[in-house]
Structure 1
Amino acid sequence: MPAFRQVGEKQLPNPVLCMAWSPKRDLIALANTAGELLLHRLASFQRVWSLPPTERTGKEITALAWRPDGKTLAFSLGDTKQIVLCGVEKAEILHVFPVQSAVTCMHWMEVVDESSSLSSFYSSEDESKLFLPKIPTLPKSYSTTSKIFSEEKSDEILNLLGDARLNVLVLGGDSGFVELYAYGMYKIAAVDGVTGTCRNLCLSSDLRSLSVIAEVRSADNNPEICYIQLDTGLLSDCLPEVTRMALKFTFISTLLQYLHLSLTCMCEAWEDILMQMDLRLTKFVQEKNTSTQVQDEFLELLLWGQSSPELQALLMNQLTVKGLKKLGQSIESSYSSIQKLVISHLQSGSEALLYHLSEVRGMSLWRQKFEPLGLDSAAIEGAITAVGSFSLKANELLQVIDKSMKNFKAFFRWLYVAMLRMCDEHVPPELNKMTQKDIAFVADFLSEHFSENEELFDRKGKYFNVERVGQYLKDEDEDLMSPPNTKGNQWLKFLEESSHLKESPLLFPSYPQKSLHFVKRMMEGVIQHCLQKPAEVIGKSVKQAAFVPLYTVPESSENTPRLFELPSLWNDKKAKMHNVVFCMPEVSPSKFYLLRKETHSNSQTPLSVVSFNLTHQLEDPEDDNAADQPGYVYSCLDARFYDDDILTVVLQACEEQSGWRGLAQLPLSSSLSCGTDFSWQPDIRLDQQSSTIPCQTLFPGTQWRELENMKAQFVAVNGIRKVACVLSSNVRHIRVFEMDVEDEEDEGLESLNASADQDGLEPSGPRRGPAEENPETDGESKGGRGGALQKTEEHLESEEALKVP
């Protein structure tokens, strides 16, 4: 006979805010009030890892959801209004993006394509692999790089996308905030028209409709719980086009993140040069008491081979021969790092961006298919132009780096020889020769880097322009202080003189006065505008198909954690129905209600509502003496769909019956068709017409067990993995169960089954009501693995204080 077997129990140090089972593995994710994301394994509820809060993200977790393949977790942060995608294998933050409103609930589902129109598309390989080289991994030595782009064995973008099959992350928040993200990254719809605060939501697997549970203010300013169905038919009707567009735009979003991190690495490499040069030369300028400029001091040494006492003191005491050699090597290494990042990362990322944007432009020209989704070919043309300008600016930076490296090498080589002569040391013959070109390089270096430009004097405490590469990496709106000299450039001269090519859309503008950071920000703005337009168009197509006010929020529940509170939503893929489970304790405490609505919003099938009576639930209907036994009245504390036909509920007996609490499986298959008889009146709240709702009585049989020594309140289940997790009302005490356990399949259970009571497995015969249980044996008979696990909460708490770091 199937039963529930307790496999773990734990008293957690911090209250739990939300919990969710993995759709693929025996893992459960928990978020607590300390801002931690915890992953536990089913076996003995062992912790796999914990992700502590960071300054970069935040610590107020408000909701979480699993990607359908079980490889990525999404969680929202209320204090920073961000969504974080976290890798499950190594607890790595893969992607972070901001949202406009604090998120209160989320749902991540995979689209089911029944027409098989996408089967060939899903099975085909990404063609970009045939034309584009694999994007190089970012160097691990820089602190700000994301791990997803620095793993040598990972395919970066595919790790973020997961399976090519379309999946959608739905976010709900305050003030009617509802947004849909393809692959959890690209926003495909920003929905308007929803009122109130979203408490729960569920997108149908066929993309036909989106169900939302919202808390709104009624005319008399009382909070009401309402069910809203939104028609998302455009997504369903254009599923192949939406999938192609979303896949391309997700690639583009990921490449933008890659370019941003590459530029961040370049800035960190540049900081090495700044620290090495600024400290020494600035100190020299501050301490020297002569009226001559730094440039004049070095020029005198270059021309006459003589230096002032101040310059000699700087060179011999501050720098030293050994220090100068080390400084030159450090600066050359930083230059090489920046050069490599430009060539390997910025250029390859720009090429990949141009490729994907060009494909999107081709899609936009197929107006019949993609124009209804908001693809604008003019906006995409602008994005392609912006990427081209970024590539030109990166090439310009390469030329500046090349020239600066020549000047730096000549300068350090000359200064090294001069210092050796000051020390009367032997100068190697290969260093002793300086050509006229070398002298010109040194003179260029001195004139460029030690100019008397007043703008450089006090702006950031700098007394000189260290070198020209840094101005390209500054995240500022000012123009370049030393733009490249374009005199004698035959191509630019030809463009200026050509009236046809001067304003030609075929040529990318170069923005010679702007920095690389400025052009990158401009490119990101143009591409984001290009990406947002489809989300606006699709969002405006979403219309409200149904609005059902359910009941008013009882005052007693205002302090209840809303993340767990009923109603709960379930998407029945087979029947194509949205199911809503809720309770109305103010109207009928011993009942819970099931509302069913077809996912196809244009369906003529009426709304289905049925109530379930929880009185006398735990008596055996086949028992002849049932009529002589006292009746029991139960209320439903929490309910979650185990699968399409079974509901897992946490039950509580009335106070007169000692507050008994239990976990039960309720079969709904025979009762789902009864609610169609209900004649719903749209203008009246559902709790005001509850007397006309059809009522059913359910018998769980042996599919229940008592939850002793625990004030159970909430439950999370996964019918695919056949597991359940029960949480106490103080949201710190947890018990984990394996459901539908068969005696003969349970390996190693024979020794424990000598006593059925000892393992918590129920006998196959009729079960007594809770008031008839023997209080002396209760603690050992149904505790899950006997009395060994039946510890007091104080004992468990003291043990966990030693285990939890």
Structure 2
Amino acid sequence: MPAFRQVGEKQLPNPVLCMAWSPKRDLIALANTTGELLLHRLASFQRVWSLPPSEFTGKEITALAWRPDGKILAFHLKDTQQVVLCGVEKAEILHVFPMQNSVTCMHWMEVTEESSALSSFYNSEDESKLFLPKLPTLPKSYSTTSKIFSEEKSDEIMNLLGEVRLNVLVLGGDSGFVELFAYGMYKIATLTGVSGSCRSLSLSGDLKSLSVITEVKSADNQLQICYLQLDTCLLSSCLPEVTRMSRKFTHISTLLQYLHLSLTCMCEAWEDILLQMDLRLTKFVQEKNTSTQVQDEFLELLLWGQSSPELQALLMNQLTVKGLKKLGQSIESSYSSIQKLVISHLQSGSEALLYHLSEVRGMSLWKQKFEPLGLDAAALEGAITAVGSFSLKANELLQVIDKSMKNFKAFFRWLYVAMLRMCEEHVPPELNKMTQKDIAFVADFLSEHFSENEELFDRKGKYFNVERVGQYLKDEDEDLVSPPNTKGNQWLRFLQESAHLKESPLLFPSFPQKSLHFVKRMMEGVIEQCLQKPAEVIGQSVTQAVFLPLYTVPESSENTPRLFELPSLWNDKKNRMHHVVFCMPEVSPCKVFLLRRGTDPLRHIPHSVISMDLSRPLEAEEDAAAQPHQVYSCMDARFYDDEMLTVVLQVSEEEGRRRVLAQLPLSAALSNEEGEEFSWEPGLRLDQQSGSVPCQSLVLGNQWRELENMKAQFVAVNGIRKVACVLSGNLRHIRVFEMDVEDEDEEGGESQNASADQEVLESSMTSEGPEGKEEEGGNKMEEQLESEEALDIS
């Protein structure tokens, strides 16, 4: 009976470019050539959801990685140069950030080290919840492009950050581009000095080193595969400080996005006002063809209660009583929306930003701990001042809105009564009373809004100016057209007359001539500098510890999808080692090579380079004589766990090439310490000295299975979940296996497998293809996924 139980098979309509197993659940993510991201469940390979390409997401996914807790997928889009974080539960885009370079590989790791300093930090992490109100969710009616703040949950940032333990998303790309993002969101390091283009990378669980496989062009124009080990000791030695700083800065960068989206909502609410104004009042003003100004005619109506026949005709025909009432309600509603957004969103977001920045400034004063990471107390002081100025400007906007609402209400109420009188309709007694204050509000409204000063209003209705609030929301560098009148403000007069307080650093500057957008951009610029400096400082501390040229790239592999191509990296957390597996088909076609390095660059590993010989039968030695001699070559290899390698082997035979899925035990190869250790000759590639590499023969026993009717070429595995996914050379044919099957389950498993295979076969013979069956159970799968979300499946 063959080893491994097949649990699913599918012919996919589009070639697969990336595939990755979830670290926590029986889910596999696939990205295809159309830019679609698919999530499949292990059972019968059912689809859970698909995220189609769009204008926002892009159409070419070049790299894919799971967050260690299995709740978020990260992927890179080549055409839009963005990294996207997608929630697994509902296929929602949670966060997007732009990249300067194209990303070719990703690795998302979790720190395994613990310390007493970290434990105390974990316990105190949620203190901000005691002091800060929960951020209100953004209105869903507006076209915000982020889902982080539009959910009804109130702790969006904490949900996005996940567990307190530090995790790092490592991105690598062309021209030696490598960046590290704490929690997948905050950039903690930009590395320089990496030669070549990254093909694979792995950050060790103790943060001591980063292993990178790069493609370097040599002097004779040959592409060489090289192994680099970068010393990241600053991250490991300052782990508690890096964790604390990363979480704080992730909060800060997310709050900046929250404020940006809140302001976007305010601008959209303001656009509603402008549309209403332009359609009604501006058209009304423009159609007036008398020589007198509209302002004068309205003042005449206000003072004497009489209007010209033309104004009366325009009011009754253009605006109408019903239209005026509707317009007044619409404008009042838009003003209220802006006012609520300022009070609940801008002010609460600014308070949270001030709180977190003040805490980071406190951290920066502990220079022994945080200065090596690039925290600058003076720069953070400037950031706190900028946030204070933004809060002052938001408060100023509230006062302007309050005054404008009073004027608007008084004007519309007065005009509504005047039009009712023109129609000779009954005027309700509560509307008939006009105090001197109300008349002053209407006069203010007329003098402010109906004007022939073209500088005040540059839209198509140049005679109608509603810029008192809108000028604050304009994303322009120009000064305010109508700055607030500060005459009679006793506090400002006191400040101007006080020599000591005039230039005091304790007072936030108010920028009376500038818009809210201008102050926000200034604040973002100052905070961005604080956010970016640690990435530069930490990046500069990283040094290259090891550089080993392995082999030249064979021409046959030029068109191979790079995500599946060897070498493969593995981070052995238990033994604190980086493992690299690779093949050199042009030098040693029947061998698999293993390179081992300690995560501590100074640690010596005996037998750091070994090879495993595959040129023998799969059966045990006593059966070898009865078997024809077969030659095996390795198509693909992935680390199943610290002691096992999953490989796809090709068997060369006269009647054709068979493919085999097998498990190679590394323990046998690594335990033989008697052989002579390989000594690397400097200046030579490994393929030029491969004959000196110690070689071990392997016996697989029953740990293999022939892959019938499939030109298998690539494999993706997850040793924690004990699963493997085999992909054919045309990137469309997939088979899924459970690797460790209990004996008592095998018989039932085989029959289940046979029925599953039969179902796939039947569906593939129908006109709708295998995808038709898959959609049928889509909703059930999604419900099942959501119901399991609360369970911690280990």
Equivalent residue, structure 1, for 2:559: 559
Distance 1:314 1:704, change over 3 A: farther
Q: Distance in 1 between matches of 2:715 and 2:451?
A: 71
Contact 2:228 2:544 in 1 (8 A): yes
Equivalent residue, structure 1, for 2:647: 649
Q: Distance in 2 between matches of 1:66 and 1:787?
A: 29
Three-state SS of the structure 2 residue aligned to 1:662 is strand
Q: Distance in 2 between matches of 1:417 and 1:213?
A: 78
Distance 1:679 1:462, change over 3 A: farther
Q: Deviations over 1:333-384 (max 9, x none)?
A: 1111111111111111111111111111110000111111111000100110
Bigger Cα displacement from structure 2, 675-684 vs 470-479: 675-684
Q: Distance in 2 between matches of 1:664 and 1:544?
A: 36
Equivalent residue, structure 2, for 1:591: 591
Equivalent residue, structure 1, for 2:779: none
Equivalent residue, structure 2, for 1:681: 681
Q: In the TM superposition, what are the counterparts of 1:772-787 in structure 2 within 5 Å?
A: none
Instruction: Look up the equivalent residue of 2:129 and give its one-letter code.
Output: K
Distance 1:552 1:501, change over 3 A: same
Q: Distance in 2 between matches of 1:499 and 1:72?
A: 55
Equivalent residue, structure 2, for 1:118: 118
Contact 1:17 1:31 in 2 (8 A): yes
Measure how far apart 1:320 and its partner are.
Answer: 1.5
Equivalent residue, structure 2, for 1:128: 128
Three-state SS of the structure 1 residue aligned to 2:657 is coil
Q: Distance in 2 between matches of 1:792 and 1:727?
A: 21
Matched, 1:699 2:669: no
Q: Deviations over 1:640-659 (max 9, x none)?
A: 10000000111111263511
Residue 632 of structure 2 is aligned with which of 606, 610, 634? 634
Measure how far apart 1:459 and its partner are.
Answer: 5.3
Q: Distance in 1 between matches of 2:513 and 2:617?
A: 79
Contact 1:278 1:462 in 2 (8 A): no
Distance 1:143 1:324, change over 3 A: same
Q: In the TM superposition, what are the counterparts of 1:129-144 in structure 2 within 5 Å?
A: 129-144=129-144
Contact 1:617 1:700 in 2 (8 A): no
Q: Deviations over 1:716-745 (max 9, x none)?
A: 111001111111111111111111111314
Q: TM-score if structure 1 supplies the norm length? A: 0.93
Q: Distance in 2 between matches of 1:718 and 1:286?
A: 71
Distance 1:786 1:78, change over 3 A: closer
Equivalent residue, structure 2, for 1:672: 670
Instruction: Look up the equivalent residue of 1:157 and give its one-letter code.
Output: I
Contact 1:6 1:785 in 2 (8 A): no
Q: In the TM superposition, what are the counterparts of 1:528-543 in structure 2 within 5 Å?
A: 528-543=528-543
Three-state SS of the structure 2 residue aligned to 1:135 is coil
Contact 2:18 2:31 in 1 (8 A): yes
Equivalent residue, structure 2, for 1:90: 90
Measure how far apart 1:313 and its partner are.
Answer: 3.6
Equivalent residue, structure 2, for 1:355: 355
Three-state SS of the structure 2 residue aligned to 1:395 is helix
Contact 1:3 1:742 in 2 (8 A): no
Measure how far apart 1:297 and its partner are.
Answer: 3.3
Measure how far apart 1:676 and its partner are.
Answer: 7.6
Contact 1:64 1:106 in 2 (8 A): yes
Three-state SS of the structure 2 residue aligned to 1:665 is strand
Q: Distance in 2 between matches of 1:693 and 1:724?
A: 30
Equivalent residue, structure 2, for 1:774: none
Equivalent residue, structure 1, for 2:103: 103
Q: Distance in 2 between matches of 1:789 and 1:622?
A: 40
Contact 1:142 1:268 in 2 (8 A): yes
Q: Deviations over 1:566-601 (max 9, x none)?
A: 111000001111011111111111111111111101
Bigger Cα displacement from structure 2, 652-661 vs 326-335: 652-661
Contact 1:12 1:733 in 2 (8 A): yes
Size of the aligned set, in residue pairs, is: 773
Equivalent residue, structure 2, for 1:795: 765
Q: Distance in 1 between matches of 2:383 and 2:41?
A: 46
Q: Distance in 2 between matches of 1:221 and 1:138?
A: 55
Instruction: Look up the equivalent residue of 1:126 and give its one-letter code.
Output: D
Measure how far apart 1:617 and its partner are.
Answer: 4.0
Q: Deviations over 1:31-76 (max 9, x none)?
A: 1121111111111111111112232232221111111111111111
Q: Distance in 2 between matches of 1:542 and 1:676?
A: 34
Q: What percentage of aligned pairs have identical amino acids?
A: 82
Equivalent residue, structure 1, for 2:410: 410
Measure how far apart 1:804 and its partner are.
Answer: 6.8
Q: Deviations over 1:223-252 (max 9, x none)?
A: 111111100000000111111111111111
Instruction: Look up the equivalent residue of 1:244 and give its one-letter code.
Output: R
Q: Distance in 1 between matches of 2:151 and 2:19?
A: 29
Q: Distance in 2 between matches of 1:58 and 1:491?
A: 53
Matched, 1:430 2:430: yes
Contact 1:417 1:431 in 2 (8 A): yes
Q: Distance in 2 between matches of 1:673 and 1:689?
A: 23
Three-state SS of the structure 2 residue aligned to 1:740 is coil
Distance 1:184 1:787, change over 3 A: closer
Three-state SS of the structure 2 residue aligned to 1:189 is strand
Q: Distance in 2 between matches of 1:443 and 1:56?
A: 48
Distance 1:415 1:723, change over 3 A: same
Equivalent residue, structure 2, for 1:778: none
Q: TM-score if structure 2 supplies the norm length? A: 0.94
Distance 1:58 1:433, change over 3 A: same
Contact 1:71 1:87 in 2 (8 A): yes
Equivalent residue, structure 2, for 1:65: 65
Matched, 1:46 2:46: yes
Equivalent residue, structure 2, for 1:766: none
Distance 1:787 1:302, change over 3 A: closer
Q: Distance in 1 between matches of 2:577 and 2:460?
A: 63
Measure how far apart 1:155 and its partner are.
Answer: 1.5
Q: Distance in 1 between matches of 2:51 and 2:607?
A: 43
Distance 1:187 1:423, change over 3 A: same
Q: Deviations over 1:249-281 (max 9, x none)?
A: 111111111111111111121121111111112
Distance 1:526 1:617, change over 3 A: farther
Distance 1:788 1:57, change over 3 A: closer
Contact 1:640 1:716 in 2 (8 A): yes
Instruction: Look up the equivalent residue of 1:351 and give its one-letter code.
Output: E
Q: Distance in 1 between matches of 2:113 and 2:298?
A: 73
Q: Distance in 2 between matches of 1:612 and 1:77?
A: 37
Q: Distance in 1 between matches of 2:19 and 2:759?
A: 23
Instruction: Look up the equivalent residue of 2:662 and give its one-letter code.
Output: A
Matched, 1:307 2:295: no
Distance 1:178 1:310, change over 3 A: farther
Measure how far apart 1:521 and its partner are.
Answer: 1.0
Q: Deviations over 1:275-332 (max 9, x none)?
A: 1111112322333323333323322322233334443343222222112111111111
Distance 1:619 1:310, change over 3 A: farther
Instruction: Look up the equivalent residue of 2:639 and give its one-letter code.
Output: F
Measure how far apart 1:453 and its partner are.
Answer: 2.4
Three-state SS of the structure 1 residue aligned to 2:153 is coil
Three-state SS of the structure 2 residue aligned to 1:582 is strand
Instruction: Look up the equivalent residue of 1:791 and give its one-letter code.
Output: L
Equivalent residue, structure 2, for 1:661: 659
Instruction: Look up the equivalent residue of 1:418 and give its one-letter code.
Output: A
Q: Distance in 1 between matches of 2:61 and 2:206?
A: 30
Three-state SS of the structure 1 residue aligned to 2:588 is coil
Q: Distance in 1 between matches of 2:648 and 2:336?
A: 64
Q: In the TM superposition, what are the counterparts of 1:511-522 in structure 2 within 5 Å?
A: 511-522=511-522
Unaligned runs of at least 5 residues, structure 1: 761-783
Contact 1:144 1:265 in 2 (8 A): yes
Bigger Cα displacement from structure 2, 673-682 vs 345-354: 673-682
Instruction: Look up the equivalent residue of 1:121 and give its one-letter code.
Output: F
Three-state SS of the structure 1 residue aligned to 2:339 is helix
Unaligned runs of at least 5 residues, structure 2: 776-794
Instruction: Look up the equivalent residue of 2:761 and give its one-letter code.
Output: K
Three-state SS of the structure 1 residue aligned to 2:171 is strand
Contact 2:273 2:330 in 1 (8 A): yes
Three-state SS of the structure 2 residue aligned to 1:547 is strand
Q: Distance in 1 between matches of 2:283 and 2:655?
A: 83
Instruction: Look up the equivalent residue of 2:135 and give its one-letter code.
Output: I
